[in-house]
Amino acid sequence: MQVMDRIKEEEKATAVGMSPVARRVVFVTGGMGGIGSAICRRLALAGHTIVAGCLPGYERKEEWLGAMRKDGIKVHAAEGDVANFESCASMFHNVRSIVGNVDILVNNAGITRDSLFKRMSERDWIDVISTNLNSVFNVTRQVVDGMTERGWGRIVNISSVNAIKGQFGQTNYSAAKAGMAGFSKALAQEVVKKGVTVNTVSPGYVETDLVMAIRAEVRAQIVASIPMGRLAKPEEIAAVVAFLVSEEAGYITGANISVNGGMHMM
């Protein structure tokens, strides 16, 4: 189908409240976290088949799957360590045997190990670079050839405002997240003629457990530094991802979309 036809079909279907014409297989790394969960829910509502990735032996997996099921959202779970190439290879081997080829990949897994550079250990550096940046290689490697062969694919990398502006106490995280954007732009060029788009989303502060765990006074300070005067809802990040993976967004590639309430504009 031509691009315009696909978009028209899509418009027709959504106008009458039907699920989209093209049902895709989505893989979200770190899919059970704050932003990851919102992305899974949003793309499930759009009618896609969802696989949420998590670490092997992740103790909240069953609880999370149960909560999703209770809300009538059907998702699959896959266990693998995104910082480990072999673990990713076997995870996607399993994923393919259960739901088929992955059409949409959201690289969302990430960790922080904040400390001043002065105190940062080599371990803190390596852990953050491996889980946030090398993971993008490890995971994307497993799915991109299939996307180019089939002539359709979407890759969305979740970066951070702190990659764009730098953050005190986050030399490792700022480096890893900024690296993601370099990767996205290079890969976007390589697959640009194959129907595959690669983009980066850079959220500001999002209302996840992680941020809500920050002491109330400190959180108030953070909120005061945001022109919009509030945190983002995870659903607002998910909405941008949902747009980027849609048919309509097929011309957007190599882009970086900031979703930060005006915190850092460029």
Partner 1 sequence: MAKKVAVVTGGMGGLGESITTKMADAGYQVVVTYSPSNTKYKSWLDEMKGKGYAFAAYPVDVVSFEDCGAKCAQIQKECGNIDILVNNAGITRDMTFKKMTKNDWDAVMHTNLDSCFNMTKQVMDGMVERNWGRVINVASVNGQKGAFGQTNYSAAKAGIHGFTKALALEVAKKGVTINTISPGYIGTKMVTAIPKEILDSKILPQIPVGRLGNPEEIAGLIIYLCSEEAAFVTGANISINGGQHMY
- Give the footprint of partner 1 on this chain (CB under 8 A): 85, 116-118, 120, 122, 125-126, 129, 133-134, 136-138, 140-141, 144-145, 148, 162-163, 165-191, 254
Which contacts of 239-244 are long-range, i.e. CB under 8 A and separated by 24 or more positions?
Answer: 239/42, 240/201, 241/39, 241/42, 241/43, 241/106, 241/156, 241/158, 241/201, 242/39, 242/42, 242/43, 242/46, 244/154, 244/156, 244/197, 244/199, 244/201
Q: How far is the CB of 209 from partner 1 (least distance, A)?
A: 24
Q: How far is the CB of 164 from partner 1 (least distance, A)?
A: 8
Q: How far is the CB of 99 from partner 1 (least distance, A)?
A: 23
List the strands of the sheet with 256-259, edge to edge.
75-79, 49-54, 25-28, 104-107, 153-158, 196-203, 256-259
Known catalytic residues? 173
Quote the tokens at residue 32.
């059970």
Residue 149 burial by Cβ neighbours in a 10 Å radius (0-12, 13-18, 19+): exposed
**Based on CB atoms, which residue is closest to partner 1, 49 or 202?**
202
**Based on CB atoms, which residue is closest to partner 1, 8 or 185?**
185
Q: How far is the CB of 107 from partner 1 (least distance, A)?
A: 12
